[in-house]
Amino acid sequence: MHQAEHLNTQFSNLEWLRENNFIEVWLNPSVALCLGIEEGDTVIIYNELGEIQMHSKINKDIPCDILVTYSWQDLFKKPVNILTKVQETDLGQKLTGFPGVAYHDTFVNLARG
């Protein structure tokens, strides 16, 4: 059993984690410059499946063609997984009898909100 908003609750009591909700997407500075995005701007991340909104976090260590988020939901509590397709794998099938979930890339677009 676990809290609805935490898969692993062992750190959910840390004050700094509760204060910083981490509803942000990290992107490369050159991508931010090209799209007119500044640190802390609201951005829209979207594809053919849906869209979410987060705050921008500019980080030079992020490659130009990658966006990174550690959040499970956006600014309006929409789950980030609305942007991913269901893709099953045979991992676990032999042991459990059920297919597992595949880890895969998700292609998205980014725009200033």
Which is more confident, 7 or 32? 32
Residue 105's pLDDT band (boundaries 50, 70, 90)? Answer: confident
pTM of the model as a whole: 0.74
Q: Cα 54 vs. chain centroid, distance in angstroms? A: 9
3-state DSSP call for residue 92? coil
pLDDT 10s digits, 57-89: 999 999 999 999 887 788 998 988 899 887 777
What does the pLDDT read at residue 7?
54
What does the pLDDT read at residue 93?
74
Q: What is the dihedral of CA 96, 70, 30, 84, to 10 degrees?
A: 40
Backbone torsion region of residue 32, taken as left when φ is above 0, otherwise alpha when ψ lies between -120 and 50, otherwise beta: alpha
What is 18-112's CATH number? 2.40.40.20
pLDDT 10s digits, 15-47: 655 556 678 999 999 999 999 999 999 999 999
